[in-house]
Amino acid sequence: MRAAGTHARVGKGAPVGLLEDKAAVITGGAQGLGLAIAQLFVANGARVVLADINIEKATEAAKELGPAIAVRTDVTKEDEVQALVEACQQEYGRIDIMVNNAGVTRDASMKNMSADDFRLVIDIHLFGAWLGTKAAGLAMKAQGAGSIINMSSISGKVGNFGQTNYSAAKAGMVGLTKAAAKELARGGVRVNAIQPGLIRTAMTEAMPRNVWESKVAEIPMGRVGEPAEVAGAALFLASELSSYMTGTVLEVGGGRYI
């Protein structure tokens, strides 16, 4: 069943989803923003691959989605990311969309942050996105078309206290996006990024109430965002509605830090 307001009508026939028959890979797709993106993609006609290190949760989510499969993937392992892209090609015949969304947090002040926790966050977010962009980009270039979406964060724009690792990784993803966009453009492959602000997820709702309220107070729109609103930006970048956009960064933050 198509989600209301998320389809286009072609001629006099039935509504056609914005991603009809497109094949999409979403890393970190078992829950949170990744799952919200997958749900909207499927509602718009896409067939998806949920890539996650938690294969049990990814498999359960794939069963509920419909045209979807789950692939256990450690995004820091080049062979596993390559196998992920190949799994999409084998299952659906091609790969049209790659969403590099997998991530973790290991927050602490620099004084208290271990080198291992710094490297872990950089590896999963930034190195993982580079591996995904590289593998998907080569496959899409051979096809002559494709859309890669890197999930950055508003913290990559302004920096957050206690997140030198996360902020550095998310800022690096912007540079990766812009450089890769230049390399892949002539092959018909677009590369864009999204920078979510404060979005309602299990992680953000675990914040102390006073911290939550102070962050909401910084948002001109006066509320937190919902995962579906980030998914809407991803749908736009994945579809032909953004066909002349590459190397861009969309902020989904309610006006925070504009």
pLDDT in tens, the chain (258 residues): 334 445 443 334 445 699 999 999 999 999 999 999 999 999 999 999 999 999 999 999 999 998 999 999 999 999 999 999 999 999 999 999 999 999 999 999 999 999 999 999 999 999 999 999 999 999 999 999 999 999 999 999 999 999 999 999 999 999 999 999 999 999 999 999 999 999 998 778 887 888 889 999 999 999 999 999 999 999 999 999 999 999 999 999 999 998
The pLDDT, as a whole number, for residue 19 is: 98
The pLDDT, as a whole number, for residue 38 is: 98
Query: Is residue 166 among the annotated active site residues?
Result: yes
Q: Domain map of the chain by residue range?
A: 19-252
Looking at the domain 19-252, which fold is it? Rossmann fold (3.40.50)
The pLDDT, as a whole number, for residue 69 is: 98
The pLDDT, as a whole number, for residue 211 is: 86
How many Cβ atoms from other residues are within 10 Å of residue 131's Cβ?
24
Q: 86: alpha, beta or left, given left = phi > 0 and alpha = psi -120 to 50?
A: alpha
The pLDDT, as a whole number, for residue 16 is: 63
* Alpha-carbon gap, residue 145 to 22, rounded angstroms: 11
Q: Where are the beta strands (DSSP E) in the chain?
A: 7-9, 15-17, 23-27, 47-52, 68-72, 97-100, 146-151, 189-196, 249-252
Reported as type and span, the H/E element at residue 138 is helix 128-143
The pLDDT, as a whole number, for residue 10 is: 37
- Non-local (6+) Cβ contacts of 173 within 8 A are 100, 125, 126, 129, 150, 151, 152, 156, 193
Q: How do 23-27 and 47-52 pair as beta strands?
A: parallel
Q: Read off the tokens for 214.
A: 């102070």
Q: pTM for the complete prediction? A: 0.93
For 254, what's the count of Cα atoms within 13 Å in the CB-facing half-sphere?
18
